[in-house]
Amino acid sequence: MQRILEPGEIEALDHNAIPRIRLPERTSVFGSRAQRLKQLAAGNAIGEYLSLMAVLVEAQQLALDKLAGEPNDHARDQARINLANTHLMPLILATDQVRSPHWQAVLAQLLQHLLEHLAIAGGVPVAVTQLIARIRQSSANQRDSQAEAILHGNNEIVDPATAPFYAAALQVVCCDLVTRFSERDVPLLDTPGLCPCCGSLPVASVVRMDGQSQGHRYLQCSMCAAEWHMVRIKCSHCDSTKGIAYQVIEDGPVAIKAETCDECHSWLKIFYQEKDPYIEPLADDLASIALDLLMGETAYARRRGNPLLWQSMEN
């Protein structure tokens, strides 16, 4: 029988035995997410959107697979590792990836796959056709500007309708870079609420139930999909252990709660794998928008939304 550890028990354990970092599985990270999105789409109020995003995420896996052939620059990677560990900073910075030679090519691949898949499946919705045309008709510099705004959370500049496609391409590039390192390369950060792999904010947290991670809470990065350990009943934004509470939807799913902090008035979803073994934090976060709507009526602010639904993002 699985048992969730309480905070006091966690702190009493040898922390060296707790996996500090869980890097994404390169060969299946997006494929597993796409499968979960398809599963969650059935009967969901935004089921059509989840199905569309499932196709986009499938395309992400194909794009990531293509990048596997890119050679590693071992000298550059070692320099990154040394710099990160010396200055307690992330291995890479997601905000730098606009300068990647790959990101716009990945974006083009995602859009093409989406069009081809939807055409075979029964036709491309007019709204999707218009969005893709808007992206394709923009200049390379305009696309760079959109990507820059997305990475920096500049809502005044971001086109929310096309943002998920841009974010999806940037996620692939970030995941590609991060999965070229090993867990032992990842530094400890002075700011525990930031991804130690790419410096992004978490999309959600999850209490795992597998292997050495059983009973332990991990934050999942909104961009590179890496996960890092954080003790439970602690705010991922301000690091406070005071004023932490949990909000749920009455008669709603038992595997999800909103963790709120009275110190900084922020909130983040937390999922419990023991209650649902198939949870994938980003996919489940997207499918549980009803909780976002309810929390939007409170005084708590969500510090990072889901990259695949820019309208839900707040900074």
User: Are residue 165 and residue 74 in the same domain, yes or no?
Assistant: yes
CATH number of the domain bearing residue 158:
3.90.1670.10
Query: How do residues 150-166 score in pLDDT, each as one tens digit?
Result: 999 898 999 999 999 99
* Alpha carbons 19 and 41: distance in angstroms, whole number: 32
User: Are residue 125 and residue 217 in the same domain, yes or no?
Assistant: no
Tell me if residue 215 falls in helix, strand or coil. coil
User: 257-264: long-range contacts (C-beta < 8 A, 24 or more apart)?
Assistant: 258/291, 258/295, 258/300, 259/205, 259/235, 260/298, 260/300, 261/235, 261/237, 261/300, 263/235, 263/238, 264/235, 264/237, 264/238, 264/240
**Would you say residue 7 has pLDDT above 70?**
no
Query: How do residues 167-199 score in pLDDT, each as one tens digit?
Result: 999 999 999 999 999 999 999 998 879 999 999
- Determine the structural domain holding residue 219 and report its residue range: 187-312
User: Are residue 41 and residue 170 in the same domain, yes or no?
Assistant: yes
**Would you say residue 73 has pLDDT above 90?**
no
This prediction has a pTM of 0.91
Kindly tell me the sign of the dihedral angle through the C-alpha atoms of 53, 58, 62, 67: positive
Q: How far is residue 286 from each of residues 69, 215, 282, measured CA to CA in Å?
A: 31, 23, 6
* Alpha carbons 248 and 257: distance in angstroms, whole number: 5
Highest mean pLDDT among 152-161, 211-220, 256-265: 256-265
* Alpha carbons 37 and 214: distance in angstroms, whole number: 24
Domain count, the chain: 2
User: Are residue 34 and residue 153 in the same domain, yes or no?
Assistant: yes
